């Protein structure tokens, strides 16, 4: 593993690594020193020096200075830099994927998948750099032309969560970069090495041409770095990914200064299995959706709503499939489920299991810690299926762990109502072979989520669509489609090419 770290510019040292890049690595950041841990073994991976007040100021200064030059570069040229960042990531896909596995605990295939997502969004952003289209309108006044154009917004702040330690940054950063913005990234305090590695990779592309200050990094915790960032009027946009609790705070502070926030928060995603579903498909979708990333995706399947006619068969098959999930070191190719991020997550899951039992629900499998030989310090649990009634209170909460609730329903109407009856609104799915059920699920009275799928599970979105959710999920949209508009400011322009000055709405003003 030392080779992997070194190839990503992370030296083997007992000294704290700099967690601050302000157009150049800051040699000795003034914040506290934080250790980062391998969730598989509990071993310390390294020490990182966080940003202090002066370091944060240096990041803002760097982003502001770079913005003055970056915004003047034609967008397709900005796209060329992002294209080369994508190439640099391609060259380091395996190594960066392995580091994601090491620091976050997702399995190798998912770690590399996350880097692939960065490459995909880079490709998308390159194309986008030639498609930042504005509309033209027909003016109501003769001899006038009217159109909308989009300008770069400024230096922006990106706050990311531990569970996607590299991809979420790129969804924001590569789109923002082609839009002409510069940025400061505050990664999760649980995954700073991944952020340092990403910074090193993009530096190879940006630094030689004096554009290092487009992407800046300020490692640190919510207080002081995060709070300083969200209150900073010099950052017109804060894009924040994480828990609903965090998003409410960010929304309040950024809204209080009339800034713009893009919030990507927790989900509580339901998968509906109807009486006419292809059960093989539904089974695979639930397995990946609920067990993948050890249940630590915002799009993880948390609730499976089963039509009463298939409930028994499906439940039995699902319990069998769970019995075959290989829990282990995520670096090993045969492992299907790695550890949770820390002990706190294990305890939260076990507390939810106790709540199920107290409420009269049934734990059909799992419900306890798992031990993995050679990884005694790791935070392993068994993937868990709980059968609960529709009024079980925790159905409305996101427990960030591989704990899925099964609820039996009698028809599609009840399933849709139950699905929507939670505070969150990120992802949703129905399994049906009937066009009527599918269309009702997708219709105005159907799923209220930002993502609604038919015969595809709740997790594993493609980057081409806009990604995000409603209600407590925060309402933000990132990645594809027209999400880029969040990173730009819109301007409506009217040009008069006559010698008259007609007013809009036919108003006459002046001496008769």
Smallest separation (angstroms) from ligand NAD to the CB of 272: 20
Among 21, 124, 164, 431, which residue sits at the site for ligand NAD (rule: CB under 6 A)? 164
Distance CA 96, CA 201 (A): 10
The helix or strand, by DSSP H or E, that contains position 332, with its residue range, turns out to be none
Q: Which of 31, 97, 111, 226 binds ligand NAD (CB under 6 A)?
A: 226
Site size toward ligand NAD, by CB under 6 A: 30
| Cα of 354 vs its chain's centroid, Å | 30
Is 150 or 467 the residue whose CB approaches ligand NAD more closely?
467
Near ligand NAD by CB under 6 A: residue from 39, 398, 452, 475:
398
Handedness of CA 54, 60, 63, 68 (dihedral sign): negative
Could you please report the per-residue DSSP string of 277-324?
--HHHHHHHHHHHHHGGGG-STT-EEEEEEETTTHHHHHHHHHHHHHT
Cα–Cα distance, 512 to 508 (Å, whole number)? 9
User: Is residue 110 a contact residue for ligand NAD (CB under 6 A)?
Assistant: no
Among 67, 215, 322, 400, binds ligand NAD (CB under 6 A): 400
Give me the 274-313 binding string for ligand NAD, x by CB under 6 A, dash otherwise. ------------------------x---------------
> Which residue(s) pair with 431 in the sheet?
273
Q: How far apart are the first and last CA of the chain?
A: 84
Nearest approach, Cβ of 263 to ligand NAD (angstroms)? 8
Cβ of residue 230: shortest distance to ligand NAD, in angstroms? 5
- Which of 123, 227, 275, 332: binder of ligand NAD (CB under 6 A)? 227
CB of residue 185 to ligand NAD, shortest distance in Å: 10
Q: Give the footprint of ligand NAD on residues 230-249 (CB under 6 A).
A: 230, 241-243, 246, 249
Among the listed residues 95, 103, 264, 398, the single catalytic one is: 264
Residue closer to ligand NAD by CB (options 108, 477) is 477
Only segment of 74-82, 221-229, 354-362, 438-446 that touches ligand NAD (CB under 6 A)? 221-229
Q: How far is the CB of 246 from ligand NAD (least distance, A)?
A: 3
The token pair at 51 is 């940003």
In whole angstroms, give the CA distance from residue 9 to residue 21: 13
Q: Which stretch binds ligand NAD (CB under 6 A): 6-14, 35-43, 46-54, 155-163?
A: 155-163
Contacting residue, 121, 214, 265, 336, with ligand NAD by CB under 6 A: 265
When asked if residue 156 is in the footprint of ligand NAD (CB under 6 A), the reply is no
Residues between 465 and 494 with contacts to ligand NAD, criterion CB under 6 A: 473
Out of 161, 219, 237, 294, which residue is the one contacting ligand NAD (CB under 6 A)? Answer: 161
d(CA 63, CA 76): 20
264 catalytic, yes or no? yes
Give which of 282, 214, 249 is closest to 72, Cα–Cα: 214
Q: Residue 264 interacts with ligand NAD (CB under 6 A)?
A: yes
Catalytic residue status for 87: no
What is the chain's alpha carbon radius of gyration, rounded to the nearest angstrom?
A: 25
Smallest distance, Å, CB 218 to ligand NAD? Answer: 11
The gap from C-alpha 474 to its chain's centroid, in whole angstroms, comes to 12
Find residue 461's DSSP bridge partners: none
Query: What one-character-per-residue DSSP string does 158-221 give?
Result: EE--SSSTTHHHHHHHHHHHHTT-EEEEE--TT-HHHHHHHHHHHHHHHGGGT-GGGEEEE---
Q: Which residue number, 180 or 220, has a Cβ lying nearer to ligand NAD?
A: 220
Instruction: State how far the Cα of 328 lies from the Cα of 320, in Å rounded to an integer.
Output: 19
Non-local (6+) Cβ contacts of 61 within 8 A are: 22
Residues 179-218 that bind ligand NAD (CB under 6 A): 186, 188-189
Which residues are paired to 404 by β-bridges? 385
73, 109, 146, 222: which one binds ligand NAD (CB under 6 A): 222
- Please state, in angstroms and rounded to a whole number, the distance separating the CA atoms of residues 295 and 349: 11
Query: Which is closer to ligand NAD, CB of 150 or CB of 185?
Result: 185
Q: For residues 151 and 430, give the distance between their C-alpha atoms in angstroms, rounded to a whole number.
A: 40
Among 60, 102, 159, 219, binds ligand NAD (CB under 6 A): 159
* Of 88 and 472, CB closest to ligand NAD: 472
Question: Residues 163, 200, 301, 428: which binds ligand NAD (CB under 6 A)?
Answer: 163
Task: Give the residue from 165, 179, 186, 157 showing the smallest Cα distance to 81.
Answer: 179
Helix/strand/coil for 243: coil
Residues 187 and 198: beta-carbon distance below 8 Å: no
Positions marked catalytic: 264, 298
Interface residues toward ligand NAD, by CB under 6 A: 159-164, 168, 186, 188-189, 221-222, 226-227, 230, 241-243, 246, 249-250, 264-267, 298, 398, 400, 426, 473
């Amino acid at each position: 593993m030392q080779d992997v770290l070194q190839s990503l510019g992370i030296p083997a040292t007992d000294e704290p690594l700099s967690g601050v890049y302000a157009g150049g690595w800051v040699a000795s950041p003034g914040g506290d020193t934080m250790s980062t841990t391998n969730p598989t073994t509990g071993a310390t991976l390294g020490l990182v020096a966080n940003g202090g007040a002066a370091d944060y100021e240096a990041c803002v200064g760097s982003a502001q200075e770079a913005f003055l030059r970056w915004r003047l570069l034609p967008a397709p040229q900005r796209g060329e830099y992002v294209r080369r960042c994508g190439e640099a990531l391609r060259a380091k896909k395996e190594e960066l994927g392995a580091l994601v596995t090491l620091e976050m605990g997702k399995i190798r295939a998912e770690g590399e998948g996350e880097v692939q997502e960065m490459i995909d969004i880079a490709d998308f952003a390159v194309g986008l750099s030639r498609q930042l289209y504005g509309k033209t309108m027909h003016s109501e006044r003769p001899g006038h032309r009217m159109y909308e154009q989009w300008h770069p917004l400024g230096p922006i702040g990106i706050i990311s969560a531990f569970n996607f330690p590299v991809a979420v940054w790129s969804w924001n950063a590569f789109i923002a970069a082609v839009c002409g913005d510069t940025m400061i990234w505050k990664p999760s305090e649980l995954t700073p090495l991944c952020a340092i590695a990403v910074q090193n990779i993009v530096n190879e592309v940006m630094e030689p041409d004096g554009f290092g200050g487009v992407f800046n990094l300020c490692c640190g915790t919510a207080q002081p770095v995060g709070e300083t960032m969200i209150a900073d009027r010099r950052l017109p946009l804060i894009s924040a990914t994480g828990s609903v609790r965090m998003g409410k705070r960010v929304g309040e502070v950024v809204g209080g200064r009339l800034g713009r926030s893009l919030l990507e928060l927790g989900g509580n995603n339901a998968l509906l299995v109807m009486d006419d579903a292809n059960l093989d498909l539904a089974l695979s979708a639930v397995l990946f959706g609920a067990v993948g990333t050890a249940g630590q995706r915002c799009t993880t399947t948390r609730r499976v709503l089963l039509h009463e006619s298939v409930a028994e068969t499906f439940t039995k098959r699902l319990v069998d499939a769970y019995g075959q999930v290989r829990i282990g070191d995520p670096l090993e190719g045969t492992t299907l489920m790695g550890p949770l991020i820390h002990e706190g997550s294990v305890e939260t899951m076990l507390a939810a299991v106790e709540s199920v039992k107290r409420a009269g629900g049934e734990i059909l499998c799992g419900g306890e810690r798992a031990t993995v030989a050679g990884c005694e310090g790791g935070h392993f649990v068994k993937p868990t299926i709980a059968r609960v009634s529709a009024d079980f209170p925790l159905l409305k909460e996101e427990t960030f762990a591989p704990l899925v609730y099964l609820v039996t329903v009698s028809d599609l109407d009840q399933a849709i109502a139950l699905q929507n009856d939670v505070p969150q609104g990120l992802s949703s799915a129905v399994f049906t072979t009937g066009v009527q059920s599918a269309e009702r699920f997708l219709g105005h009275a159907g799923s209220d989520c930002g993502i609604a799928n038919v015969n595809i599970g709740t997790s594993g979105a493609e980057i081409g669509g806009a990604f995000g959710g409603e209600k407590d999920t925060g309402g933000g949209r990132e990645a594809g489609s027209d999400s880029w508009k969040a990173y730009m400011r819109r301007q409506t322009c009217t040009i008069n090419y006559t010698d008259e000055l007609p007013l809009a709405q036919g108003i006459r003003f002046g001496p008769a």
